[in-house]
Amino acid sequence: MTEKEANGYLEELYTRFGSVLEKESGFRYIAVINNNNKTSFEFSYKTGSKNENNVMTTQRAKELVNIIKQLLFTEVSINITPWFKMRNRIKKYVFNYDIKKTKIELNTDIKENFKHYYNNNEETKIDGKIFGDRAGTLGGIISLKHNNNNFIISNYHVLMGNKKLGAEIYYNNKPIAKLFWGLFNEQYDVAIAKINKNTSIKLNSKKYLHHKIVNINNRFYKLKNLRTFSSDGPQDKGVLYSKNAIVKIEYGNGYKLYKNQIITKTMSLVPGNSGAIIVEDSAKIKKNIVGVFIGGDSTYGIVNNLHNLFKKEIEAFKDKNDRELPKIEFKSFIN
């Protein structure tokens, strides 16, 4: 099974079984894992005592894994296909038989809920932190095509929330930008704000200039070492654990399920890191960008894939709060 095929299975799984996983107590993620050019899946769940909330037994985890295998196998094998497409049907049937033989590893390395890593302090005066709806991290400065302004980028749950477009964004207790655009759906938790005129933002990461957004979906992409970059400068190192995962994160009084997420491992992220940019940890002075950090726990980081988001123009739309979001097209990272 190739990585591309595994990603297809994961997409199908999200469509047909995502609502079940979102409600399943103790579920953390199911991810495509590639080790030594061997592609497999990993199912992660939180264990604990019977008295704890939001935990899953190993027996239930095994049941879900079997359901997932049956789900992905049965759907394709019973499809009725016209005779002139019979060759494709047979190929697809054999192809899908691999899913029943594929081992889905169980990972109980999760001892806590995945959470958004914002700072709950409602004060705007938090040195080195950006503040919109909550206190988080200023990931970087970007430019857009067909727009002469510069913008800051961070998480939607940090900058936007329920705020109106044009709301003031603070950095080091000073107004620096106005809310411009945001997207909060099953894949992304990203927002940008237009930097105010005559406002200068000095980032500690300036000597480590961002370069370009790299496409880690490319099957030839092999680099594993990553690090965080943000308004606090380079912070910590880690590794690329999965390029594609369905992940459940604690959100408000409930949980939110994301698809197409990147998972990192061993980064020591702390509250307030939401919005940090994740880049390649290479010898290059200009670091290629992988994504934006949205949450995780003390071991695993969950990262939005910025290549997927910005690879083409995003049309104007109205969000759930009736805000009219403008059409945007990403140009480059400035810092």
**Does residue 209 or residue 23 have the better pLDDT?**
23
Query: What was the pLDDT predicted at 203?
Result: 64
Residue 13 has pLDDT above 80, yes or no: yes
**Does residue 89 or residue 199 have the better pLDDT?**
199
Query: What was the pLDDT predicted at 334?
Result: 83
pLDDT in tens, 56-110: 888 999 999 888 887 776 544 434 444 444 444 333 333 344 445 566 888 876 6
Percent of the chain with pLDDT over 70: 80
CB distance 311 to 212 below 8 Å: no
**Does residue 5 or residue 335 have the better pLDDT?**
5
- Helix (H) / strand (E) containing 291: strand 287-296
Query: What was the pLDDT predicted at 30?
Result: 94
Residue 136 has pLDDT above 50, yes or no: yes
CB distance 154 to 137 below 8 Å: yes
Percent of the chain with pLDDT over 90: 39
pLDDT in tens, 278-325: 988 877 767 789 999 999 888 889 999 999 999 999 999 999 999 999
Name the range with the highest mean pLDDT among 21-30, 105-114, 161-170, 182-191.
Answer: 182-191
**Buried residues in 302-334 as b, exposed as e (16+ CB within 10 A):** bbbbbbbbbeeebeeeebeeebebeebebeebe
Mean pLDDT of the chain: 81
Whole-number Cα distances in Å, 217 to 4, 34, 123, 290:
9, 12, 39, 10
Query: Minimum mean pLDDT among 154-163, 179-188, 211-220: which range?
Result: 211-220
Name the range with the highest mean pLDDT among 68-82, 110-124, 170-184.
Answer: 170-184
Split at pLDDT 50, 70, 90, the class of 186 is: very high
**How many other C-beta atoms are found inside a 10 Å radius of the C-beta of residue 3?**
18
Residue 253 has pLDDT above 70, yes or no: yes
pTM of the model: 0.87
Q: What CATH architecture applies to the domain 112-335?
A: Beta Barrel (2.40)
Query: What was the pLDDT predicted at 235?
Result: 66
pLDDT in tens, 204-227: 555 556 678 999 888 777 778 888
Sign of torsion over alpha carbons 203, 207, 213, 218: negative
CB distance 227 to 279 below 8 Å: yes
Query: Minimum mean pLDDT among 40-49, 130-139, 229-238, 280-289: which range?
Result: 229-238
Query: What was the pLDDT predicted at 55?
Result: 84
Give me the residue spans of the domains in the chain. 3-110, 112-335
